[in-house]
Amino acid sequence: MQLQTLPYLQSSHNSEIGEELYQLISKLYPICRSITGNGFRETLNIINQHIPLQIHEVPTGTQVFDWNIPKEWNIKDACIKNSQGERIVDFANSNLHAINYSIPVRKKVSLAELKEHLFTIPEYPDWIPYRTSYYQEMWGFCLSHNQYLELRDEEYEVYIDSSLEPGCLTYGEYFIQGKTADEVLISCHACHPSLCNDNLSGISIAVFLAEYLTCFQPHYSYRFIFIPGTIGSIAWLAINEENVSRIKHGLVLTCLGDSGSFTYKKSRRGNTEIDNVVTYVLSSSAEENKVIDFFPYGYDERQYCSPGFNLPVGCLMRSPHNSFPEYHTSADNLDFVQPQYLAESFFKCISIVNILENNRVYYNQNPKCEPQLGKRGLYEADIDSQDRKLNRMAILWILNLSDGNHTLLEITQKSGIVFDEIKQAADVLLKYNLLASSPKDGL
Ligand code: ZN
């Protein structure tokens, strides 16, 4: 599979794909999502317009390892009314105003009592914080600190028209059958309401990556999952425990639409193929990047990399969670993510997939001394059959290191030659039967 040669991926199409990624985010942005409920289902229905999802419903109370699937939460409306009956804090203006998983409430309260249920960010007085209370039943509102300061000492009415009842946790899955049963897992949390970088950017890129891979029969099988954070990956792992050994590589995608440089958080094992591939892809570009070791906080990699699973799953981000002030606030909006950054992130993912797909181990079929390249026309040859310049050093490196113990990426790293030239030289050697996927009989 030669992903990089497709017209869809030429640089002139950057802005086009960037706009498409952004449009999907814009469509998903207004929906009030949570770890369960109809906002999550509506999100999956929109994703389903791009890729046919298998939708799973896990009933409330189902035990998943040490956890239980919580009650399902839905919300229709929420507001704080002043003594004149004006809706001064209104869910219709921002779904961040109601604390996610607030229990229903309708009552008159004093300013003092109201304040016990209000949350703001004094350092950023125009922004509304994003807060959740999944596992502790409570009600509350989030608002800008400026609005909070304007509250007068009067009687208020608080109203949250929500429901917290037995139902289901919903998640979506899309599977692409490759040539092998070995799988690449792409995981996105899809439980945040109107927040763009965390997590709509990851969802959008995963959807287009899935759509793109559907055009091929890739070497690996690819499994895309759209799950609520934490409880979703725990549920998914509990349900799929018997099959997780098929996962050979995995990525959690999130925070991929902001202007920050790329950050890759390695898997717990730290030296897996996905770790090496992403590190190589990021270091191959002139842009600044950071590769950080695994730590047990962050996104769903925490569950995939728990010691009982220890899967080769890393996390690709631009600015990591908590490192930008807009994180988990109303400022993580449609201005904070931009098509050009989304497009760059998308192409990084394509580059990663391209190397994973082509990173094979080969065997030199003539390992006793160097084969005579000249008599095959390979020593003096400048170009391959597609008129691409052949790198003779790449040929010599591959022949020397194709002993069944080195992948093409490892040969790339040892030789200092770029992966594409190593891959191209390997293709030529395969064509001349100097290289094969298995050792030669008798050697
Ligand atoms: Zn988050």
CA of 197 to the centre of ligand 1 (A): 9
Reported as a single tens digit per residue, the pLDDT across 340-389 is 999 999 999 999 999 999 999 999 999 999 999 888 888 766 666 665 67
Q: Is the pTM of this model over 0.75?
A: yes
CA of 208 to the centre of ligand 1 (A): 21
Residues of each domain in the chain carrying CATH 1.10.10.10: 361-436
CA of 397 to the centre of ligand 1 (A): 45
Burial class (CB in 10 A: 0-12, 13-18, 19+), 197: buried
- Structure token digits, residue 174: 């899309």
Nearest Cα to 300, choosing from 201, 196, 241, 227? 227
CA of 199 to the centre of ligand 1 (A): 7
CA pair distance 43, 57, nearest whole angstrom: 14
Reported as a single tens digit per residue, the pLDDT across 71-110 is 999 999 999 999 999 999 999 999 999 999 999 999 999 9
CA of 328 to the centre of ligand 1 (A): 6
CA of 351 to the centre of ligand 1 (A): 26
For 72-165, give the CATH class.
alpha beta
Domain 3-69+168-355 of CATH type 3.40.50.1860? no
Nearest Cα to 106, choosing from 188, 185, 161? 161
**Coil/strand/helix, residue 229:** coil
CA of 193 to the centre of ligand 1 (A): 10
Q: What is the pLDDT of residue 4?
A: 47
Reported as a single tens digit per residue, the pLDDT across 119-173 is 999 999 999 999 999 999 999 999 999 999 999 999 999 999 999 999 999 999 9
CA of 132 to the centre of ligand 1 (A): 10
CA of 326 to the centre of ligand 1 (A): 11
CA of 198 to the centre of ligand 1 (A): 5
Question: What is the residue-averaged pLDDT of the chain?
Answer: 94
**Coil/strand/helix, residue 75:** strand
Q: Please give, one letter per residue, the 3-state secondary structure of 208-223.
A: HHHHHHCCCCCCCEEE
CA of 359 to the centre of ligand 1 (A): 33
Residues of each domain in the chain carrying CATH 3.40.630.10: 3-69+168-355
Nearest Cα to 176, choosing from 52, 9, 275, 274? 52
CA of 192 to the centre of ligand 1 (A): 7
CA of 29 to the centre of ligand 1 (A): 14
CA of 335 to the centre of ligand 1 (A): 18
Residues of each domain in the chain carrying CATH 3.50.30.90: 72-165
Reported as a single tens digit per residue, the pLDDT across 145-156 is 999 999 999 999
CATH for the stretch 361-436: 1.10.10.10
**Coil/strand/helix, residue 13:** helix
